[in-house]
Amino acid sequence: MKLTRLRGFQDYLGADARALSMVEDCARTVAYRHALNEIRIPTLERIELYERSSGETSDIVQKQLYRVPRAAEAAGEGDQALRPEGTPGVIRAYIEAGLDRSDPEQRFFYCGSMYRYERPQKGRLRQFNQFGVEIFGRADAASDAELIIMIDEFRRALGLEVTFEVNSLGDAACRPAFRAALLEWGRTHYAELCDDCHQRLERNPLRLLDCKTDAVLARTAPHSLDYLCDPCRGHFATVERLIKIADVPYVVNPQLVRGLDYYNRTTFEVTSSAVGAQSAIVAGGRYDGLVEALGGAAAPGTGFAIGIERTALAISADRYATGGAPDAAIIAIGDAAVAGAIALARELRASGLRIELLSPERGLKALLRRADRGGARHALIIGENELAAGVVQMRDLRASTQNTVARGEVAAALAAARG
């Protein structure tokens, strides 16, 4: 087998595919009830979009971006990349449609595949799907709270046990003081920090907080919550109050930081212990300066993204194992019966039944075996005799009973059996 799939890319068959659909359908249902509008955007965008939003020093831009080289043809079009996340593209579309000026308050959801060049592991792929929600034009804490409540509805519908962690990173007014304190702390403890943290001190000091090798030491680092200005403090208190009233089981994690540097104020993460080390199945937060940074009018924003594959890992197999077995499998014996079998299948499908038409090339015994293993409740057998008499043999594969049914009555009999 040479033509294998690429590293980090997955095929999903049977129950695995159903699990993903189930997660996606569930998210769509919740989004529908929240009256969000779907937005579909391209998979490929200009590279600058990601450089300007995610931050040029972030790993996503530095080494995870799938650059699409079209050197000769696209020379004048600028560099392009497969989207590593959805938020920048949604904001670009929002600005490009002029909504930031004409009607800034918008509520979107999107669903699609994202691409990041990383070493795969459990819960991490190079192509993966995200279901995301973005709310523009609202700076109030209630919009943050509503997102978290939405996620809680989503995970309850799937029967997931998860942990909600929330934090506030402050804003342009108070973050500089926190950042300075963190850098100061890092320099003071430089000798005790691990090699990774030495890198973080340069590149992304906030990351010092969630170091795993020096977790004990990291706990002594300054927290953004202690540096919040009054407006930020009030905002966070309101978020907490609202999600508490809504009964969301959350904890404040002062060491929770986000990977992308456009976040401010509220950040949150939903984790499951069932999916491996990459345990975050949903993450999000507020990004008030981002629309403006991407060339739009100043508009606040807040949003989250659900990892579809990671969420699917967390749901128990018995919730999607049964994949809708056929109501009946039709078995045609002899060439003459094939046309009649196809006609019967059409009739039955038109009345809403799920019908599988089995191959006429094999023997009755083999076909009954396939019908049984395919999970069909009934087998409908049509041969020369049945054709002539205008009937079918309807065999109940569960009860092992069989009787002759007039063609016109098959649909009703199957529907009755389905209950």
Partner RNA sequence: GUGAGUGUAGCUCAGUUGGCAGAGCACCGGAUUGUGGCUCCGGUGGUCGAGGGUUCAAAUCCCUUCACUCACCCCA
- Closer of 43 and 64 to RNA (Cβ): 64
Q: Where are the alpha helices (DSSP H) in 10-169?
A: 15-33, 47-54, 59-62, 87-96, 99-102, 141-157
Return the number of other C-beta atoms located less than 10 Å from residue 48's C-beta. 14
Q: Work out how close the CB of 184 gets to RNA at its nearest, in angstroms, rounded to a whole number.
A: 20
Q: Work out how close the CB of 75 gets to RNA at its nearest, in angstroms, rounded to a whole number.
A: 27
Calpha distance 398→418 (Å, rounded): 12
Is the CA virtual torsion 308, 138, 180, 217 positive or negative? negative
User: Which H or E run includes 198?
Assistant: helix 195-203
- Closer of 231 and 254 to RNA (Cβ): 254
Q: Work out how close the CB of 7 gets to RNA at its nearest, in angstroms, rounded to a whole number.
A: 3
- Closer of 153 and 372 to RNA (Cβ): 372
- Closer of 238 and 255 to RNA (Cβ): 255
Binding site for RNA (CB under 7 A): 4, 6-7, 58-60, 64, 85, 116, 118-125, 128, 130, 196, 199-200, 204, 207, 211-213, 258-260, 269, 276-278, 280-283, 305-307, 309-310, 333, 362-366, 368-370, 372-373, 381, 383-386, 393, 395-400, 402
Tell me the C-alpha to C-alpha distance, in Å, between residue 382 and each of 84, 256, 327, 388: 54, 65, 16, 10
Q: Work out how close the CB of 160 gets to RNA at its nearest, in angstroms, rounded to a whole number.
A: 13
Residues recorded for the chain: 419
70, burial (CB in 10 Å: exposed 0-12, middle 13-18, buried 19+): exposed
Residue 147 and residue 304 in contact, taking contact as beta carbons nearer than 8 Å: yes
Hey, what are 2's tokens?
């040479």
Q: Work out how close the CB of 266 gets to RNA at its nearest, in angstroms, rounded to a whole number.
A: 14
Q: Work out how close the CB of 119 gets to RNA at its nearest, in angstroms, rounded to a whole number.
A: 3
- Closer of 39 and 368 to RNA (Cβ): 368
Tell me the C-alpha to C-alpha distance, in Å, between residue 32 and each of 25, 38, 267: 10, 9, 24
- Closer of 293 and 364 to RNA (Cβ): 364
